[in-house]
Amino acid sequence: MKKLATISVVLVAALLGITSYLGLAVAPTEQTMGDVQRIFYYHVPSGWVAFLCFFINFVASAVYLWKRSAGSDALAAASAEVGVVFCTVLLITGPLWARPVWGIWWTWDARLTTTLVLWLIYVSYLVLRRFAAGGQTQVLAAAFAIFGFADVPIVYMSIRWFRTQHPSPVMGGGQNSGLDPAMAHVFLTNLAAFTLMGIVFLVLRYKLQMQEHALESAHAQAALKGVA
């Protein structure tokens, strides 16, 4: 356990360090936005990991409803939490980037609003897991996860349409359009590093979930034995 803790801390810190260095020192300065643009090297990879986690949650929940295995439920719980963490970073770094560059903290365009709604849905998933009583938690949460994920494309399309009707400031047009090769290199490296970091978090959180589950069962077993 000690070893696992030290390895993971070192690994995560190293990944954060490398990505920061790449993003802050190695990447060339952007033409129009200046140095603030460097937030991009943290912002987009965080988002990518978050959405990946939410997708994993959807698949794990579906598998749980089908197979009812402890592993799939643990993965669903872990991926939802890790996803929310990365999505939180996404939602904080976004406005921090937007304010100096476009002058506004936030706008209700399709992408931002969908991200916010996604965050809201998975936070409510976590709240549901916390507040559900006893053995039904996993089933209820898994059912809710299906709803949440099915809702996302609908949310996106709705707001896209809403915004063609009621246009408002658009931010960050195409970060990937015409990326200078030096920047693309840093971006892709950071993307890989963040994915790796996400996997580390996911594996740890999964283990924790399984351990807590095993502990609960062990308590129940001990109580039964005590009643001999």
Partner 1 sequence: MNGIVFLKAAYAVSWIIYLGYLGRILLRMKKVAAEREELDRTIPRNAAPATLKRSAV
Partner 2 sequence: MTTLTVTRATLMKDLRMEWRSKDAINSMLFFALLVVVIFSFAFNPTAEESRQIAGGLIWVAFLFAAVVALNQTWARELRNQVLDAYRVSPAPPNALFLAKTVGNFLFVIVLECLMAPLFVIFYELRSVGPVWQLIVVALLGTWALVVNGTFFAALSIRTRSREIMLPLILFPISIPALLGMVDATTSILTGEASPDFWVKMLTVYDVVFTAICLLLFETVLNAE
**Residues interacting with partner 2, by CB under 8 A?**
65, 117, 120-121, 123-125, 127-128, 131-133, 135-136, 139-140, 143-144, 146-148, 150-151, 154-155, 157-159, 161-162, 165
Choose the binding region for partner 1 from 20-28, 54-62, 111-119, 155-163 (rule: CB under 8 A).
20-28
Report the candidate in 129, 123, 131 with the shortest Cα–Cα distance to residue 148.
123
**Nearer residue to partner 2 within complex by CB, 153 or 169:** 153
Give the contact letters, 96-135, x = binds to partner 1 (CB under 8 A), - = no.
xx-xxx----------------------------------
Site for partner 1 in 198-217 (CB under 8 A): 201, 204-205, 207-208, 211-212, 214-215
Q: Is residue 25 part of the contact set for partner 1 (CB under 8 A)?
A: no
What residue type is assigned to position 120 of the chain? Answer: L
Report the candidate in 40, 211, 54 with the shortest Cα–Cα distance to residue 147.
54
Q: How far is the CB of 138 from partner 2 (least distance, A)?
A: 9
**Nearer residue to partner 2 within complex by CB, 39 or 90:** 90
Distance CA 58, CA 141 (A): 11
For residues 209 and 60, is the Cβ–Cβ distance under 8 A?
Answer: no
Distance CA 198, CA 33 (A): 29
> Quick one: tokens of 17?
């360090």
When binding is defined by CB under 8 A, the residue of 70, 93, 116, 140 that contacts partner 1 is 93
**Nearer residue to partner 2 within complex by CB, 160 or 207:** 160
- List the Cα angle 75/81/86 in 5-degree steps: 120
> Quick one: tokens of 181?
């090769």
Report the candidate in 14, 162, 144, 16 with the shortest Cα–Cα distance to residue 77.
144
When binding is defined by CB under 8 A, the residue of 12, 123, 143, 196 that contacts partner 1 is 12
